[in-house]
């Protein structure tokens, strides 16, 4: 039986996994990457430690439009299968207190080393610095042309070319154009997991201040769920883990839907209810404290400046309410250079939920960030890359 040739466009997490699973399933994959080396985004994931997955991996951490598809994908290649896969490659891992799964070495290079070792063991053909000009269906297969003038033929194609975040690492959204050439609808890509641009009187005096807080996105009158984490005040607005984790809906509202009625609500004192905070402030007033002393032990001294008008006994009720629900109007988001992920991509209704094969073109598969799937931080996006790559690799070899 003649083995199927599979052209895999993109050498990130999804593409590498697709090549491995296609090879193990009996195909002859060719992995094509535009950069000088594989897995550049994998190497920066988790601040260079590479959080390969999460101990709480499930569809609820992904965008609502993707959850039905994710349910089926993660049943086939979920938390256990991802960890078993890497353990088989010799990668030892541990689970951090927040659920993120890291290599025991705390180095992303360890993840890439075991993946490249497996590609070499399977004798997968890897071609670097290959930029794709076009892909067309031809006969029962595909003809791929590169910008350098080469032509390649394959029985199947897997698009794993990623989104648009981190353009310095080669992300340019070119895969969207290829998918669109086959008739796919592209949900307008916008920066995801990104800092917010806010013009507020607090931001300048608090620049550089980071606190533990809770944040929630608000679009119009609709408020999202509270997320706890860091809130960092910057010269342009707000950042920090809590802000990044609530930014996706705000980015979609602003950058895709052109909605200007968006804000982020911050609970600056998440360790107390408003009633408890008010009682604490009353207790301090009862001891004769006023001014900055009212905030001592609750917030850093820097907050005394922005809150000056509320730091007197007559305004402690207003102060308590403000600290528990400070609303910051959002002007916009930071751009692609600072976004960790992409929200948007190929419409999920146009791919088969079991194989991720295109419903527009037989033999074309899509995996990873090129699809309209994104999650919050914490290893969920890489988990999607591994899972979708695994499934398309098998499907391309066996369908």
Q: Residue 277 belongs to what domain range?
A: 196-333
CB atoms within 10 A of CB 258: 7
pTM greater than the 0.75 cutoff: yes
Residues 167 and 32 both lie in one domain? yes
Residues 123 and 261 both lie in one domain? no
Question: First-to-last CA distance in the chain?
Answer: 14
What angle (nearest 5°) sits at the alpha carbon of residue 377, between those of residues 79 and 353? 50
**Nearest Cα to Cα of residue 270 among 221, 237, 205, 226:** 226
In the chain, pLDDT over 70 holds for what percent of residues?
Answer: 99
pLDDT of res. 1:
59
Residues 179 and 125 both lie in one domain? yes
Query: Residue 94 pLDDT more than 70?
Result: yes
Q: What is the pLDDT of residues 300-344, one digit of tens each?
A: 999 999 999 999 999 999 999 999 999 999 999 999 999 999 999
CATH number at residue 105: 3.50.50.60
Q: What is the pLDDT of residues 53-69, one digit of tens each?
A: 999 999 999 999 889 99
Residues 103 and 208 both lie in one domain? no
Residues 270 and 179 both lie in one domain? no
343 with 251: CB under 8 angstroms?
A: yes
Query: Residue 182 pLDDT more than 90?
Result: yes
Query: Residue 268 pLDDT more than 70?
Result: yes
**Which residues, including other chains, have CB under 8 Å from residue 17's CB and lie 6 or more apart?**
367, 385, 386, 389, 390, 393
* Interval 84-96 mean pLDDT: 97
218 with 268: CB under 8 angstroms?
A: no
pLDDT band, residue 141 (cuts 50/70/90):
very high
Number of domains in the chain: 2
3-state helix, strand, coil in the chain (%, to 5): 35, 25, 35
Residues 101 and 216 both lie in one domain? no
Largest pairwise CA distance in the chain: 88
* Interval 222-242 mean pLDDT: 96
Average pLDDT of the chain is 95
From start to end of 140-205, where are the E strands? 141-146, 151-154, 156-159, 186-192, 196-197
Residues 286 and 377 both lie in one domain? no
**Helix or strand run (H / E) with residue 329:** strand 326-329
**Exposure of 343 in the CB half-sphere (CA atoms within 13 A):** 29
CA distance 187 to 366: 15
């Amino acid at each position: 039986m003649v083995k199927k040739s599979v052209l895999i466009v993109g050498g990130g997490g999804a593409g590498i996994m697709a090549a491995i699973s296609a090879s193990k399933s009996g195909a002859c994959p060719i992995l094509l990457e535009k950069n000088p080396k594989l897995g550049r985004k994998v190497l920066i994931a988790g601040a260079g430690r590479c959080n390969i997955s999460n101990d709480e991996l499930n569809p609820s951490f992904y965008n609502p439009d993707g959850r039905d598809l994710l349910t089926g994908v993660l049943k086939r290649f979920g938390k256990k299968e991802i960890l078993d896969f890497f353990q088989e490659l010799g990668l030892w891992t541990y689970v951090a207190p927040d659920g993120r799964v890291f290599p025991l070495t705390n180095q992303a290079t360890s993840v890439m080393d075991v993946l490249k070792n497996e590609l070499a063991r399977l004798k997968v053909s890897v071609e670097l610095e290959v930029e794709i000009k076009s892909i067309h269906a031809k006969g029962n297969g595909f003809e791929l042309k590169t910008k350098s003038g080469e032509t390649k033929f394959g029985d199947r194609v897997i698009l794993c070319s990623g989104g648009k975040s981190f353009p310095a690492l080669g992300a340019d959204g070119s895969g969207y154009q290829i998918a669109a050439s086959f008739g796919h609808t592209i949900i307008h890509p916008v920066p995801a997991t990104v800092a917010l641009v806010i013009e507020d009187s607090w931001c300048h005096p608090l620049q550089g201040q980071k606190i533990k807080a809770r944040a929630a996105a608000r679009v119009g009158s609709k408020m999202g769920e509270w997320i706890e984490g860091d809130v960092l005040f910057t010269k342009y607005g707000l950042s920090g883990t809590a802000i990044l984790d609530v930014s996706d809906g705000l980015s979609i509202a602003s950058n895709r839907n052109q909605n200007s009625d968006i804000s982020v609500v911050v609970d600056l004192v998440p360790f107390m209810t408003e009633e408890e905070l008010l009682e604490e402030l009353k207790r301090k007033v009862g001891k004769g404290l006023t001014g900055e002393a009212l905030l001592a032990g609750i917030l850093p001294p820097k907050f005394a400046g922005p809150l000056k008008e509320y730091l007197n006994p007559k305004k402690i009720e207003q102060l308590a309410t403000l600290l528990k629900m400070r609303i910051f109007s959002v002007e916009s988001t930071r751009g692609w250079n600072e976004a960790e992920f992409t929200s948007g991509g190929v419409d999920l209704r146009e791919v088969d939920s079991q194989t991720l094969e295109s419903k527009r073109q037989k033999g074309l598969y899509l995996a990873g960030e090129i699809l309209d799937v994104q999650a919050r931080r914490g290893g969920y996006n890489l988990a999607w890359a591994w899972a979708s790559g695994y499934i398309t690799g098998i499907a391309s070899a066996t369908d």
